[in-house]
Structure 1
Amino acid sequence: MSTLTDLDLARWRLRTQHLTAPAPDAAAVVGHLLCVQAENVSQTAWAVATRTSTPDAADLGGLVDSGQVVRTHVLRPTWHYARVEDIGWLLELTAPRVRKTTGQGLKVAGDLDDARIERMSQVVLDTLAARPDRTRDELAAALAAEGVDPGGFALMLLLADLELQRLLVSGTPRDGTHTYARFEDRVPATPFDRDEALGTLALRYFTGHGPATLDDLVYWATLTRGDAKAGLAAAQDRLASFEHDGRTYWHDPADEPPRRDEPSEPRGHLLLILDELYRGYQDSRMVIDSAGLVPRGRESAIGMAVVDGQMVARMKRTVNTRSVRFELTPYDVLRPGDRAALDETAERYAAFLGLDAEVLVR
Structure 2
Amino acid sequence: MNHAAILATRLTRQRLTQPSKLAPADVAAHLCAIQAQDFAGAKWSLGQRCYGLTDAGAEQLLAEKKLIRISSLRGTLHLMHPKDVRWITALVTPRIKLQAASLWKKLGVDDAILSKALHHIDDALKNNEALTRAELKSILDKRHIDTTDHRMNQFLTFAGLQQVVCCGPRRGKEFTYVLLRDWLPDDIAPMPKHPLTELAIRYLESHSPATAEDFSWWSGFPVTACRRAFEDAGITERFVFGEKTYFLPNGETASKPDGKVRLLSGFDEYYISYADRSLVAENVPPGILSPPNGILPYLVVSKGKIVGTWRREIGKKSVEMVYIPFGKTAIGEERLSTAAKTYGKFMGLPAQWAL
TM-score normalised according to structure 1 size: 0.86
1:274 aligns with 2:267: yes
Match of 1:210 in 2: 208
Identity of aligned residues (%): 25
- 5+ long unaligned stretches in structure 2: none
In the alignment, the residues of structure 2 paired with residue 339 and residue 104 of structure 1 have an alpha-carbon distance, to the nearest angstrom, of: 50
Match of 1:17 in 2: 14
- Aligned partners of 2:8 and 2:256 also within 8 Å: no
* 1:113 Cα deviation from its structure 2 partner: 5.3
Q: CA RMSD in A?
A: 2.5
**CA deviation profile, 1:162-181 (whole Å, cap 9, x unmatched):** 21122222334444543222
SS in 2 for 1:236: coil
Aligned match of 2:176 in 173, 176, 179? 179
- Aligned partners of 2:68 and 2:81 also within 8 Å: yes
Counterparts in 2 of 1:12-161, with a 5 A limit? 12-24=9-21, 25-102=23-100, 104-106=102-104, 108-109=106-107, 111-112=108-109, 114-148=111-145, 150-151=147-148, 153-161=150-158
In the alignment, the residues of structure 2 paired with residue 103 and residue 131 of structure 1 have an alpha-carbon distance, to the nearest angstrom, of: 32
Aligned match of 2:290 in 293, 299, 313? 299
Match of 2:322 in 1: 327
- Number of equivalences: 347
Counterpart amino acid of residue 282 in structure 1: A
**CA deviation profile, 1:170-201 (whole Å, cap 9, x unmatched):** 334444543222333333234435x6101110
* 1:114 Cα deviation from its structure 2 partner: 4.9
SS in 2 for 1:60: helix
* 1:246 Cα deviation from its structure 2 partner: 1.8
Q: 1:123 to 1:324 in 2, by over 3 A?
A: same
Counterparts in 2 of 1:225-244, with a 5 A limit? 225-237=223-235, 240-244=237-241
Structure 1 segments of 4+ aligned residues over 6 angstroms from their partners: none
In the alignment, the residues of structure 2 paired with residue 19 and residue 279 of structure 1 have an alpha-carbon distance, to the nearest angstrom, of: 15
- 5+ long unaligned stretches in structure 1: none
SS in 2 for 1:129: coil
TM-score normalised according to structure 2 size: 0.88
In the alignment, the residues of structure 2 paired with residue 69 and residue 8 of structure 1 have an alpha-carbon distance, to the nearest angstrom, of: 32
